[in-house]
Amino acid sequence: MNRRACLLVFLALALTVAATPAAETPLTSEQTGWLQKARRFERKGWVYLHMEGDARARGFQHGYLLASEIAQGLRKVKVGWEYQSAMTWPWLVEKSARMFASKIDGENLAEMEGIAAGLRAKGLTVTRDEIIAYNGIIELAGYWWPTEERKMKEERGPAHPVKESCSAFIATGSMTRDGNVVLGHNTMSGYADVLPNVIADIVPDHGRRILWQACAGWIHSGMDFFITDAGLVGAETTIGGFEGFDPNGVPEFTRMRRATQDATTIDEWCDIMKRGNNGGYANAWLVGSIRTKEIARLELGLKYVGFERTRDGFFIGSNVAEDPKILRFETSAHETDIRASSVARRVRWKQLMRESKGKIDLSRAKAFEADHYDSYLGRVAPDGRTLCGHFELDREPAGPWPGVPFGCAGTLDAKVVDARMASNMSFAARWGSACGRAFNADRFLRAHPQFDWMKGVLSDRPSEPWADFQSGE
């Protein structure tokens, strides 16, 4: 057996062992009381989790009820990190704890401690510091590590490209059928990454109630799609080609959670996100208020911040920075190269907005997120350049990420919300490709054996229909 085959066997065995928890520990009366207030169920590919109470209670509910999904997510992150970086997971856990722990507020730390405690009650050996690294994996792997890697290479070679993912829009006023806010978003990610198939209903003991999409074990959304009982709705798309990270800043995942739980207005939400910004997970945030019918786009670079707002218009997100200083000084993006996914999707968004003025509603929002028109080719052709992305179908890379033929990445979902749904703390979501195209992991790996390191972590995504979710189900 060759060395590569040995490695794959070892990984498969490691994954099997990690998936089998030890014996559960007896619950205390306090923990039993916490669990009586929480619940989970599954619908159309999604896992719905309701949690409430103080930070320790919410964390324990989360870790205990989603133990299997969190264990799977941790396995994916560990294998992906070690393959891509050649550094061990324990090394990253130690580095992230040293860099992040002192900058995370007490409530978020307590919630992560609670998640680890819930996992341990299920027989899984997981520490709080592992949960910190797991929550921060996007900014650690995509923003911090490239700077460290270049130091280790003594400045040789370019940094790995930041993931240019997600397609989103927000509109209001004369753009929408009812004159109020409509938001749509889909997640574009690596298919072997931790999967964001959790709908979390969070009722904290203080602050705003939240309904959002997340990954099992994350205290933030991360993908990001949220609504709150303050009438706020929001989503983001990554700023493509971005470089920059401040290890002394506050991690993005803790700022995002604090903003969404604590803010009552768009201004408050944006102010919290800007406070201590470390440049990690640099995003264009699309935020709206159904109470004021106002929308905004906050672009957070590291050195520069872009902000726009309106009560009559739209904002789009396709991974191209709109603020000129962020675009020119903090990214390597070329906003006119329509061969790139980000630019082709930007062109398509503007075309759809022009054609849909006064007509945008939930039905159109769903169609937007599933759109397969390639602006570069000038025809319908599902690939990496379409709003519903399918990099796995590309014979030639559609930009710097994933940057290889048949890249194992694309759209994982779609979510839409209008003012009526947001006022009822609900939104519509579709798991799997926004268009409904199924993905079979074994078939993909047989056709593309260059990705054989993904065996054991790559998951199927069958075609699922749209489903509505609401707080308090």
Q: What is the CATH number of the domain that holds 356?
A: 3.60.60.20
* Pair 103, 196 in one domain: no
Residue 233 lies in a domain: yes
The residue from 88, 117, 152 where one domain ends is 152
pLDDT confidence of residue 63:
98
Beta bridge partners of 427: 469
Give the full edge-to-edge strand order of the sheet including 283-289: 39-43, 46-53, 198-204, 210-214, 225-228, 232-238, 283-289, 294-300, 305-310
* Pair 141, 191 in one domain: no
pLDDT confidence of residue 153:
75
Please name the residue that has the structure tokens 């790139």: 340
* Pair 206, 336 in one domain: yes
The residue from 121, 152, 183 where one domain ends is 152
Assigned token pair, 358: 């006064």
pLDDT confidence of residue 150:
81
* Pair 86, 179 in one domain: no
* Pair 438, 298 in one domain: yes
Assigned token pair, 448: 């593309």
Q: What CATH number does residue 65 fall under?
A: 1.10.439
156 confidence band (pLDDT: 50, 70, 90) = low
* Pair 120, 193 in one domain: no
* Pair 341, 374 in one domain: yes
151 confidence band (pLDDT: 50, 70, 90) = confident
Under 8 Å between Cβ of 40 and 61: no
Does the pLDDT of residue 18 top 50, yes or no?
no
**DSSP characters for 319-349?**
S---SHHHHHHHB---TT-TTSHHHHHHHHH
Tens of pLDDT, residues 290-301: 999 999 999 999
Q: For 332, how many CA atoms within 13 A lie in the half-sphere containing its CB? A: 13
Please name the residue that has the structure tokens 């390597």: 332
Under 8 Å between Cβ of 380 and 372: yes
Q: What is the Cα–Cα distance from 161 to 402, expressed in whole angstroms?
A: 8
* Pair 455, 315 in one domain: yes
For residues 237-265, average pLDDT: 97
Q: What is the Cα–Cα distance from 285 to 277, expressed in whole angstroms?
A: 14
Residue 159 lies in a domain: no
Under 8 Å between Cβ of 148 and 129: no
DSSP state of 176: B
Residues 6+ apart with CB under 8 A from 151: none
* Pair 69, 194 in one domain: no
Cα angle: 97, vertex 100, 106; to 5 degrees: 100
Under 8 Å between Cβ of 466 and 413: no
The residue range of the domain holding 118 is: 3-152
The residue from 102, 119, 152 where one domain ends is 152
pLDDT confidence of residue 163:
75
Bigger pLDDT: 58 or 149? 58
* Pair 91, 226 in one domain: no
Tens of pLDDT, residues 188-207: 999 999 999 999 999 999 99
Helix spans in 19-66 (H): 29-36, 55-65
Dihedral angle of Cα 343, 345, 351, 354, to the nearest 10 degrees: -100
Does the pLDDT of residue 159 top 60, yes or no?
no
Residue 157 lies in a domain: no
* 3-class DSSP state of 201: strand
* Pair 206, 290 in one domain: yes
Please, is 379 exposed, middle or buried when counting C-beta atoms within 10 Å of its C-beta (0-12, 13-18, 19+)?
A: exposed
- Residue 359 identity (one-letter amino acid): K
Provide the number of structural domains found in the chain.
Answer: 2
pLDDT confidence of residue 160:
61
Q: What is the Cα–Cα distance from 431 to 199, expressed in whole angstroms?
A: 11
154 confidence band (pLDDT: 50, 70, 90) = low
* Pair 286, 429 in one domain: yes
